[in-house]
């Protein structure tokens, strides 16, 4: 598995049977009156508990941004086996920094596509003339290490409760409402759990250092960022196109990483790659096609909690970059061949 982008959701089922409302009938009128009074109190208590539980469920399912002044320790210290509860523990800390106004998916899509175009054409100038970035032009591996550092720093911010309001707004891709247009970028650098961060950063280190040296820093930056943005846009549009209930928020760098894998496998299809320590037969391209089939099946069958649509979006951009770069290489090779053989004509 190259990397994962998790999609979060949670729900609770409440049964009135758990409140034990049924009582045995009594013949004594006094006891009957007492029992009727007790039953009415019990029913009111049950309704109150049920209402509170449904409100609690709604906050998790819709992940709507609401103000909360106190942290609920019951969820933070929940059973460690409940992965969804642990992943959603940050969702109770809300910030209403955008005054309750949502950004429509249409506006987010326009901004995302415009950003992709700007990144593609602006990357060469960024690493050529901007101080700080120009260093990475001749040190592509150092740029990959800097991406590792940024992801690690964002993971660290998730561990600080005072930062949760900011992180929820900018570093989490929410489906039901979008508090910030730039969450399509921030969520691609965001991880809440160490295993998630570790798997994705291992993949970035494995493939990123190689393809950054092959393409150069500017092209690698363009590939990485545009794959991340495309993954976020696919993640937002997929539930609407499939007409399914909106999934929970998602985060993770795997959209960008599947783009890196797609480009790498297109350019070097027979390169041997390892799944941890086990070689994958058939080379990089076969492994990539297998990942595409896995993600497509995940979108259709909706198994697990991974954001398969984001994986597919990043994969599509990676293949597109690989195809375009291979055409450029072939064109330059043909021009060089014509120059070298011109004197023979």
Confidence category of residue 170, pLDDT binned at 50, 70, 90: very high
Tokens of 163: 């930062």
User: Which residues does the annotation mark as catalytic?
Assistant: 254, 311
Confidence category of residue 6, pLDDT binned at 50, 70, 90: low
Short-list 54, 57, 19, CA closest to 39: 19
In sequence order, which residues have a C-beta less than 8 Å from that of residue 274 and are 6 or more positions away? 280
For the cut 50, the answer to whether the pLDDT of residue 53 exceeds it is no
How far is it, in rounded angstroms, from Cα 81 to Cα 103? 35
* Domain boundaries, given as residue ranges, for the chain: 13-62, 90-337
For the cut 90, the answer to whether the pLDDT of residue 90 exceeds it is no
Using DSSP's 3-state secondary structure scheme, residue 250 falls into: strand
Please count the CA atoms within 13 angstroms of the CA of 112 that sit on its side-chain side.
28
pLDDT value of residue 256: 96
How far is it, in rounded angstroms, from Cα 190 to Cα 6? 10
Confidence category of residue 345, pLDDT binned at 50, 70, 90: low
Give pTM, 2 decimals.
Answer: 0.73
Give the range among 4-13, 205-214, 218-227, 319-328 with minimum mean pLDDT.
Answer: 4-13
Can you say whether residue 61 is alpha, beta or left, with left for phi > 0 and alpha for psi between -120 and 50 degrees? alpha
Sign of torsion over alpha carbons 57, 61, 65, 70: positive
How far is it, in rounded angstroms, from Cα 127 to Cα 218? 6
pLDDT value of residue 92: 44
Tokens of 137: 């032009």
For the cut 70, the answer to whether the pLDDT of residue 176 exceeds it is yes
Asked if 186 and 171 touch (Cβ cutoff 8 Å), the reply is yes
In sequence order, which residues have a C-beta less than 8 Å from that of residue 314 and are 6 or more positions away? 227, 228, 230, 231, 234, 254, 255, 256, 257, 258, 259, 262
Short-list 278, 272, 234, 201, CA closest to 116: 234
Short-list 224, 250, 345, 243, CA closest to 306: 250
Q: Tell me the range of 74-78, 79-83, 121-125 where mean pLDDT is highest.
A: 121-125
pLDDT, mean of residues 19-43: 43
For the cut 50, the answer to whether the pLDDT of residue 26 exceeds it is no
Tokens of 290: 């297998």
Q: What is the DSSP track for 198-224?
A: HHHHHHIIIIIHHHHHHH-HHHHHHHH
More confident residue, 69 or 253: 253
pLDDT, mean of residues 273-302: 88
For the cut 80, the answer to whether the pLDDT of residue 87 exceeds it is no
Confidence category of residue 2, pLDDT binned at 50, 70, 90: low
Tokens of 182: 């730039």
Q: What is the largest CA-CA distance in the chain?
A: 118
pLDDT value of residue 243: 81
For the cut 80, the answer to whether the pLDDT of residue 155 exceeds it is yes
Confidence category of residue 4, pLDDT binned at 50, 70, 90: low
pLDDT, mean of residues 3-20: 44
pLDDT, mean of residues 35-47: 47
CATH number for region 90-337: 1.20.1540.10
How far is it, in rounded angstroms, from Cα 290 to Cα 218? 29
Using DSSP's 3-state secondary structure scheme, residue 81 falls into: coil
């Amino acid at each position: 598995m190259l990397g994962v982008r998790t999609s979060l959701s949670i729900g609770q089922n409440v049964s009135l049977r758990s409140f034990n409302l049924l009582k045995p009938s009594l013949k004594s009128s006094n006891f009957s009156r007492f029992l009727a009074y007790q039953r009415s109190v019990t029913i009111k208590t049950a309704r109150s508990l049920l209402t509170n539980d449904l409100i609690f469920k709604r906050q998790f399912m819709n992940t709507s941004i609401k103000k909360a002044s106190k942290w609920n320790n019951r969820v933070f210290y929940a059973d460690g086996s409940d992965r969804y509860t642990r992943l959603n523990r940050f969702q109770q800390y809300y910030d209403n920094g955008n005054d309750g106004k949502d950004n429509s998916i249409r506006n987010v899509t326009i901004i995302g596509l415009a950003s992709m175009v700007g990144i593609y054409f602006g990357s060469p100038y960024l690493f050529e003339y901007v101080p700080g970035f120009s260093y990475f032009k001749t040190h592509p591996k150092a740029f990959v290490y800097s991406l590792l550092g940024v992801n690690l720093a964002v993971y660290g911010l998730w561990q600080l409760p005072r930062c949760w309001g900011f992180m929820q707004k900018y570093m989490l891709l929410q489906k039901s409402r979008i508090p910030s247009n730039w969450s399509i970028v921030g969520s691609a650098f965001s991880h809440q759990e160490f295993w998630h961060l570790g798997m994705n950063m291992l993949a970035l280190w494995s493939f990123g250092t190689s393809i950054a040296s092959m393409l150069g820093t500017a092209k690698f930056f363009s590939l990485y960022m545009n794959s991340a943005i495309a993954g976020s846009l696919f993640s937002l549009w997929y539930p609407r196109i499939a007409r399914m209930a909106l999934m929970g928020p998602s985060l993770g760098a795997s959209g960008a990483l599947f783009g890196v894998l797609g480009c790498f496998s297109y350019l070097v299809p027979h390169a041997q790659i390892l799944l941890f320590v086990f070689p994958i037969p058939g080379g990089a391209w076969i492994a990539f096609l297998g990942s595409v089939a896995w993600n497509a099946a995940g979108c259709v069958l909706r198994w697990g909690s991974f954001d398969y649509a984001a994986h597919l979006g990043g994969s599509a951009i990676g293949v597109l970059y690989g195809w375009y770069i291979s055409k450029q290489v072939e064109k330059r090779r043909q021009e060089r061949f014509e120059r070298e053989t011109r004197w023979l004509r």
